[in-house]
Amino acid sequence: MPLRLDQLRRHALARSLFAPTSLPAALRRLGFVQADPLRAPAKAQDLTLRHRVRGYRAGELEQRYPALPIEEDFFVNYGFLPREVQALLHPRAERRPWDGARWQQAHAVRDFVRARGEAHPREVDARFDHGTVGNWFGGRTRASTELLDGLHHRGLLRVARREGGTRLYASREPTPAPVDPLTALDTLADLLLQTYAPLPEPGLLQLLSLLMAGGVPQWRHLRAATLERARARWPGAELDGLRWYWPEGEDPARSRRHDPERVCLLAPFDPVVWDRRRFELFWGWAYRFEAYVPPAQRQRGHYALPLLWRDQVIGWANLKVRDGRLDANLGYVTARPTEPAYDQALDEELGRMSEFLGLG
């Protein structure tokens, strides 16, 4: 029988919103967790993990990070990924080439970090007087901060841990280039599929473009070859003129979500939500992240969390903590469901969110 869109939708939910497990197991299964610094009411990485990790609390990933086999780095966006996968991203091409004088400063900063074991940016600022440099937003940034970021991007420093949300750095030895770049790219493309499947062709193209632009710019000339190899080895099907892909061994026609009667408030960068084109195909309305949109132009709010009920995203919620209690402002695409099962499921989800935030 031909594959249907509702089967792809259920498969996307079932494979991504799996039964809650341990944090290491959830990270392995997700493959990549996108990070974002905004807290509304918690960081995006925590909002993503809370559905997939038993008893998860906001900030737990940051607290446990030093003991986990993961790294902070840029993949298709900035986030957390397995250490062995992160090694495939390096040696990475430079975003902004440094001249000889800048490299001399960078080597001095790296030697300082290596000698200390790990270093806070303010310690680097206190040790060196590098002044300021222009940043991407037209303003000025401390040069030492730009050096730390640049060394991290080049794979010469790693994030050892965070302190109050600030990255503390440790030295990292340069990674030798893979013997076969296409084999490395196959592994990275497979991780994209693991995280975001089932993927429509436009979503695959977008993810590969982001990977080549920021994750492995040294291999952007291999994008077409990587795409063809992925198309050849991944299972898939055509639906309404659009090709879809999923990992080997999966059958979208047989997927069942482990807890379909549950309401889930999803992060803006959750794998279920990330592909905005797929989101609109699945649920018939356009979701946009509006945190950086001027307030007067927002349609759904500063940090609207898509509201999933059963296998439909029926609305959104903006959450705030006021006087130690969770305040939820809900909106619906059409109308609020009237059945009692929905009211109970929503109350349970808001209760889980309160526990996750430590509100009691």
In this prediction, residue 145 carries a pLDDT of: 85
In this structure, is residue 336 part of a structural domain? no
| Mean pLDDT of the region 156-169 | 96
In this structure, is residue 92 part of a structural domain? no
In this prediction, residue 265 carries a pLDDT of: 98
In this prediction, residue 144 carries a pLDDT of: 83
In this model, does residue 135 exceed pLDDT 70? no
Residue 133: CATH number of its domain: 1.10.10
Note the pLDDT tens digit of each residue in 74-123. 999 999 999 999 999 999 988 788 999 999 999 999 999 999 999 999 99
Note the pLDDT tens digit of each residue in 228-260. 999 999 999 999 999 999 999 999 999 988 889
Note the pLDDT tens digit of each residue in 8-50. 999 999 999 999 999 999 999 999 999 999 999 999 999 999 9
In this structure, is residue 180 part of a structural domain? no
In this structure, is residue 113 part of a structural domain? yes
In this model, does residue 134 exceed pLDDT 90? no
Note the pLDDT tens digit of each residue in 202-214. 999 999 999 999 9
| Mean pLDDT of the region 257-269 | 95
In this structure, is residue 112 part of a structural domain? yes
In this prediction, residue 139 carries a pLDDT of: 60
In this prediction, residue 95 carries a pLDDT of: 77
Query: What does pLDDT average to over the chain?
Result: 94
Which pLDDT band holds residue 317 (cuts at 50, 70, 90)? very high
Which pLDDT band holds residue 141 (cuts at 50, 70, 90)? low
What's the chain's Rg over C-alpha atoms? 22
Of 83, 85, 89, whose CA–CA distance to 70 is shortest? 83
In this structure, is residue 150 part of a structural domain? yes
Of 78, 69, 79, 76, whose CA–CA distance to 23 is shortest? 69
State which residues form the domain around 109.
100-171
In this structure, is residue 117 part of a structural domain? yes
Burial 159-172, CB ≥16 within 10 A → b, else e: bbbbeeeebbbbbb
In this structure, is residue 134 part of a structural domain? yes
Let me know: does 244 contact 203? Beta carbons within 8 Å. no
Cα separation values, 348 from 138, 262, 263, 319, 334, Å: 45, 8, 8, 15, 22
In this prediction, residue 179 carries a pLDDT of: 85
The count of structural domains within the chain is 1
Structure tokens belonging to residue 224: 């077409």
Which pLDDT band holds residue 143 (cuts at 50, 70, 90)? confident
Least confident range from 50-59, 121-130, 224-233, 240-249: namely 121-130
Let me know: does 22 contact 60? Beta carbons within 8 Å. no
In this model, does residue 140 exceed pLDDT 70? no
